[in-house]
Amino acid sequence: MLKQTTYDSPLGQMTLLADDAGLYGVWFDGQAYFGGTFDLTTIASGDNAVLQAATAWMTAYFNGHEGQRPALHFSGTPYRQAVQQALCDIPRGQVATYQQLADRLEKFLGHKTAARAIGGAVGHNPLSVIVPCHRVVGSDGSMTGYAGGLWRKQALLELEGASDQVKL
């Protein structure tokens, strides 16, 4: 059964959505694509072990530590799920470009993919922060869009010590 809870992060309130097997969503309130394909108005607030693990992970993350992610449900098309998995491979404190992700996925998928297609999938990532889409930058290292707002992306990269890798 799906449950949702809120988390008060240093960058604003977040909504987390999970069932007993894994996390479906983590969104900053008011961000683009808030709630993804879920109608959050129909889902009860509550708690379960996955939400507890996710909030503990978030607290550790904002305190400078990043342990093992809670169980995740990747969603969307198989392509978007592959992008979400690739995002998880970008280490804390590092960034990757959309083209670098496209090149990685080409090897995994066995066919070419465009940086622009990666951008669409990254922008719709329903698992903000935990699946670190904020670590993706433009081909010249410039700060590019972030569904939670560029100021949050900059703050997350600063928290991780990666802001020196980005053109602000």
**CATH number listed for the domain at residues 78-165:** 1.10.10.10
Distance between CA atoms of residues 148 and 67, nearest Å: 22
Give, for all 168 residues of the chain, the pLDDT tens digit.
999 999 999 999 999 999 999 999 999 999 999 999 999 999 999 999 999 999 999 999 999 998 899 999 999 999 999 999 999 999 999 999 999 999 988 887 778 888 888 899 999 999 999 999 999 999 899 999 899 999 999 999 999 999 888 887
The one catalytic residue in 105, 127, 133, 137 is 133
How distant, in Å, are the alpha carbons of 46, 63, 72, 121, 137 from that of 90?
Answer: 31, 19, 16, 16, 12
**Residues in a beta bridge with 142:** 167
Distance between CA atoms of residues 74 and 130, nearest Å: 12
Q: Are 74 and 84 in contact (CB under 8 A)?
A: yes
Q: Tell me the domain boundaries of the chain.
A: 3-62, 78-165
Burial (CB count within 10 angstroms: exposed 0-12, middle 13-18, buried 19+), residue 27: buried
- Mark whether 133 is an active-site residue: yes
Whether pTM > 0.75 for this model: the answer is: yes
Percent helix, strand, coil in the chain, to 5, is: 40, 15, 45
Give me the architecture of the 3-62 domain, per CATH: 2-Layer Sandwich (3.30)
